[in-house]
Amino acid sequence: MNGSSIYNSWNFTDNPFSAMPLLADSLGDQLFIGRDEELRRVGIRLTSSASAVCLDGMVGVGKTSLANIAAFRALRSYRANSRTSPLIIPCRRPFQVSPTETPDDFRMRVLTEVAQTLLERSSEFRLGLNMEGSVGLNAWLNSPLLRQWSLGVPIFSAGGGAQSNESAGFTSSGFSRTVISWLEAIFPDNQNGGVVCVLDNLELLETSAIARKKIEALRDTLFTVKGLRWVLCGAHGILQGVVASQRLVGHMQEPVYVPPLALAHAQAVFDARVQTFNAQNGSAPYLPFDADDFHRMYLIVHRSLRNALAYANDYCLHIAESGTEPRTKEEKRQRFDSWLKRMAESIRDAVKAQTGPRAMKLFQDAITQFDGEFGPGDFTTLGFKSVQAMRPQVKALEEVGLVEAQKDDVDQRRKSISVTGKGWLVHWCILTHGS
Ligand SMILES: Nc1ncnc2c1ncn2[C@@H]1O[C@H](COP(=O)(O)OP(=O)(O)OP(=O)(O)O)[C@@H](O)[C@H]1O
Ligand SMILES: [Mg+2]
């Protein structure tokens, strides 16, 4: 039985606890809870400046979703009033940079996705949009070049790959020129919006020195292309090191900090998912736990939304496999609590088998003294003689997934190490059921 068929049999259309980012569409918008202040800030930044918006926050906290929904709502404002709102078009996919990809390859990947996005949107824009404010978009939609591309388009038919279009006589540079000319036609100056491209998970580049170099290398190929609006997302403060680059001055905005979603929103996150995925087939949807159980778990994992959703899904799979479904509120609470306890204990035991007592002491001290977020510079408070002495213990905790750390050679004071949702679960287990 796979995940979605369990949910189908429980009268849902799909898995309500997917841990994937919310997309820039009406489904994502419906599931998006809270964050009014962050949405307002990101919306203003996206529409008022061509420099990159930077979102800094813990892994899995909701950065990509925030960027997508801010872009989606900006497009909605444009649809409502194209005279007063700039045209913001969310790119259909987020991007990640890899340490090995060249700036040219990355640029080609971005322009391919941007071209796909524009083509997908073109028919929608052509139909029934009031475009009084968008002379550029109108001109582009009516240009012979677009018509020619939308008719033949062998370049996109095989799922990207600009190189495959030899027959139509486009070289890859011809392709970039075409896409850039589209962007210039639609967004003739930098004031009237752009295609929003999200550059995700910069922390995967590991050190802020590497991330800075990478972004600097992309500066002239991407940040200067008219009609693209960038949102950069990174965890562990990695963006602080990037925005500090002198070579990026004017291209990057100061990071917006994305805090965990407030505890008070946990119930609404749960309810929105239950409502949205309700199959409405005449039978009430069933779940083996309630909104307040989800709320409790969100609290235990220290407001790591991705972890809370993933554990909710694991629990549902466990119940489905067990063959007996709790029915009453009390039964559900008991089953959920005993599952959570057993899962936490097994993670705790696996972690203990792989990690020494010194690392576990560091883990506990990081929680009690720093609320789970610390930097290499905190070594004395954490009982080490030097940064070097602390490093292997951090690494040991990282290997078992209790903390996430950014190796940072720039600023030792930055809180670049943080306890993960799994770490908070283990902490809860030790507190409530002993070590
Ligand atoms: N405001 C929100 N309301 C409801 N669900 C949300 C919200 N924000 C994020 N989520 C959900 O939380 C999970 C994590 O979100 P997202 O992937 O956007 O986080 P992230 O910070 O980009 O993670 P990462 O650091 O791994 O890139 C996703 O399943 C998403 O659907
Ligand atoms: Mg993300």
Q: Which two tokens stand for residue 79?
A: 């649809």
Q: Which two tokens stand for residue 326?
A: 């709790």
Residue 267 to residues 98, 110, 289, 345, Cα–Cα distance (Å): 37, 37, 12, 26
Domain 354-433 grouped into CATH 1.20.120.330: no
In this structure, the number of other CB atoms found within 10 A of the CB of residue 323 comes to: 6
35-257 architecture in CATH? Answer: 3-Layer(aba) Sandwich (3.40)
- Quote the pLDDT of residue 219: 87
Which residue bears the tokens 């939304």?
305
- Domain ranges for the chain: 35-257, 287-353, 354-433
In this structure, the number of other CB atoms found within 10 A of the CB of residue 216 comes to: 17
Q: Is 97 within 8 Å of 202 (Cβ atoms)?
A: yes
Distance from C-alpha of 266 to C-alpha of 291, rounded to nearest angstrom: 8
The closest ligand to the CA of 235 turns out to be 1
Distance from C-alpha of 19 to C-alpha of 348, rounded to nearest angstrom: 23
Query: For ligand 1, which residues put their CB under 6 angstroms from it?
Result: 18-22, 31-35, 57, 59-65, 200-201, 233, 235, 261, 269, 305-306, 309
**Ligand 1 atom nearest residue 34's Cα:** 1
Three-state SS for 71?
helix
DSSP string, 310-342: HHHHHHHHHHHHHS----SHHHHHHHHHHHHHH
Residues 6+ away with beta carbon under 8 Å from 43: 70, 73, 74
Q: Which two tokens stand for residue 403?
A: 């903390």
Q: Distance from the CA of 233 to the center of ligand 2, in angstroms?
A: 7
Q: Using alpha carbons only, what angle is made at residue 36 by residues 32 and 38, rounded to the nearest 5 degrees?
A: 95
pLDDT band at 49 (very low <50, low <70, confident <90, very high): confident
Three-state SS for 278?
strand
Q: 208-218 and 103-126 helices cross at what angle (nearest 10)?
A: 60
pLDDT in tens, 121-168: 877 766 544 444 455 666 666 666 665 555 544 444 333 343 444 444
**pTM of the entire predicted model:** 0.88
Percent of the chain scoring above 90 in pLDDT: 57
Distance from C-alpha of 173 to C-alpha of 413, rounded to nearest angstrom: 44
Three-state SS for 256?
strand
Distance from C-alpha of 351 to C-alpha of 149, rounded to nearest angstrom: 56
Which residue bears the tokens 């940072």?
408
Residues 6+ away with beta carbon under 8 Å from 410: 207, 208, 209, 241, 244
Three-state SS for 260?
coil
Q: Distance from the CA of 154 to the center of ligand 2, in angstroms?
A: 32
Distance from C-alpha of 38 to C-alpha of 296, rounded to nearest angstrom: 25
Q: Distance from the CA of 57 to the center of ligand 2, in angstroms?
A: 10
**Ligand 1 atom nearest residue 203's Cα:** 25
**For residue 174, pLDDT beyond 50:** yes
- Quote the pLDDT of residue 129: 47
The residue among 238 and 9 whose pLDDT is bigger is 9
Phi/psi at 22 (nearest 5 deg)?
Answer: -70, 140
The whole-number average pLDDT for the span 284-298 is: 96
pLDDT in tens, 366-425: 999 999 999 889 999 999 999 999 999 999 999 999 998 876 655 666 678 899 999 999
Q: Distance from the CA of 237 to the center of ligand 1, in angstroms?
A: 18
DSSP string, 387-433: HHHHHHHHHHHHHTTSEEE---SS-TTS--EEE-HHHHHHHHHHHHH
Distance from C-alpha of 115 to C-alpha of 138, rounded to nearest angstrom: 17
Give the strand pairing for 228-234 and 95-96. unpaired
Q: Which two tokens stand for residue 60?
A: 């899995």
The closest ligand to the CA of 69 turns out to be 1
Q: Is 415 within 8 Å of 375 (Cβ atoms)?
A: yes
**Ligand 1 atom nearest residue 21's Cα:** 17
Distance from C-alpha of 145 to C-alpha of 153, rounded to nearest angstrom: 11
**For residue 175, pLDDT beyond 50:** yes
Residue 257, H or E segment:
strand 256-257
Of residues 34, 31, 30, the one with CA closest to residue 18:
31
The residue among 29 and 207 whose pLDDT is bigger is 29
Who surrounds ion ligand 2 at CB < 5 A? 64, 200
**Ligand 1 atom nearest residue 269's Cα:** 4
Distance from C-alpha of 322 to C-alpha of 339, rounded to nearest angstrom: 11
Q: Is 255 within 8 Å of 240 (Cβ atoms)?
A: yes
**Ligand 1 atom nearest residue 22's Cα:** 31
Distance from C-alpha of 433 to C-alpha of 130, rounded to nearest angstrom: 62
Task: Write down the mean pLDDT value for the chain.
Answer: 86
- Quote the pLDDT of residue 252: 92
Ligand 1 site-directed mutation target among 17, 29, 305, 404, most atoms within 8 Å of CB = 305
Q: Distance from the CA of 144 to the center of ligand 2, in angstroms?
A: 38
